Amino acid sequence: MEEDERESESERRSAPSQTSDQQTTTETSRQKLETDEDDIETKLDISSDRFDPLLALYSPQVPLPYPNIKCFNNIAEYESFMKGGRGRAKPENVEKRLRKAQKGKADPERIERLKRLMVNNPVEEEGEGSGVKRPPRQRKAAKNVLTRMPLHTGSPLGELNRCVQEKIRVKVHIRTFKGLRGVCSGFVVAFDKFWNLAMVDVDETYREPLLGQALYHEKALTVTRLFEKLKVQETVALSAVENQKSELHSSSSHLTHQTRRTDPKHTQERSEHSEKDKTTLKVTQKIATKPKVEYGRVHTRHVNQLFIRGENILLVNIQQE
């Protein structure tokens, strides 16, 4: 009798997963055939009291109460699993594994969280944020390049800060790979620990670098020599112009203007450096004996705002008032 039932079952079986609810609905539809099916269903239903285990073992499709359950191949496996072997499916582990599997997929909850963090209107956000933050937690003092400037009191950088605050004109000596390149005279607006300087109203006087043998033979350039050279250049140019007497009245007056401008600077330089241990040079003699400057010309230019990288600075000299 059971075999007959099994055969008829395998013919008539359609939907595999039928819960007890579905069983009741199928029962109500067809009357005569229902009794048989109904019988079989209840026999295969684990929770019913007419469960037939032999039938369940041999039937092709048994409705499982928990379809997503872990399957074991034998009871020994189940036993070792329950004893807590390696990789035992504790609830935390199961969740972790599931989360790892879903790592790539976009988690809508996470997206929502991130969206809420997004700044739509920066002013708004800051207003709200600062209002909330200030009562519970005192903000640590902001440390940035501007706040660090006054921190160097007592050190040379502190002196530089004084020049910034009191707007003292300074002279910055710029270096070439070996020796002095030139001098930048201006006001320092900002600086940092690397001696990078932001300067305004800069007058730069510099000499073109010498190349090769000339550099080897030339005496080291000093500030004194630099300005003397400038003066020499200009007097040489001036004399060249004065030799041509044709239409140069306007330009010669322009040039004498220039030399007059450098003169006070030059005498100032000389008075400054006469105290140093460099030899004091007599200008008139030097001009007579110096050759015409063709290489390593000295140039002057004015830059309104200049940034100097600290690596190139030799020294900073305060121009006393």
Residues in touch with other proteins (CB under 8 A): 116-117, 119, 122, 126, 129, 133, 140, 142-146, 148, 174, 189-194, 196-198, 200, 208-209, 303-309, 311-312
Whichever of 11 and 311 has its CB closer to other proteins, that residue is 311
Least CB distance to other proteins at residue 174 (A):
7
Inter-CA distances, 204 with 47, 68, 304, Å: 98, 82, 11
Least CB distance to other proteins at residue 257 (A):
25
Whichever of 43 and 181 has its CB closer to other proteins, that residue is 181
Whichever of 145 and 318 has its CB closer to other proteins, that residue is 145
Give yes or no for a contact between 18 and 41, defined as CB atoms under 8 angstroms apart. yes
Query: Distance (Å, rounded) from C-alpha 177 to C-alpha 6?
Result: 100
Query: Distance (Å, rounded) from C-alpha 269 to C-alpha 230?
Result: 12
Least CB distance to other proteins at residue 208 (A):
7
Query: Distance (Å, rounded) from C-alpha 56 to C-alpha 51?
Result: 8
Nearest to 308 by CA among 147, 224, 222, 194: 194
**Following CA atoms 237, 242, 247, 251 in sequence, which dihedral angle do they give, to the nearest 10 degrees?**
50
Least CB distance to other proteins at residue 309 (A):
5
Least CB distance to other proteins at residue 112 (A):
13
Whichever of 56 and 168 has its CB closer to other proteins, that residue is 168
φ, ψ at 211 (rounded to 5°):
-120, 140
Whichever of 12 and 113 has its CB closer to other proteins, that residue is 113
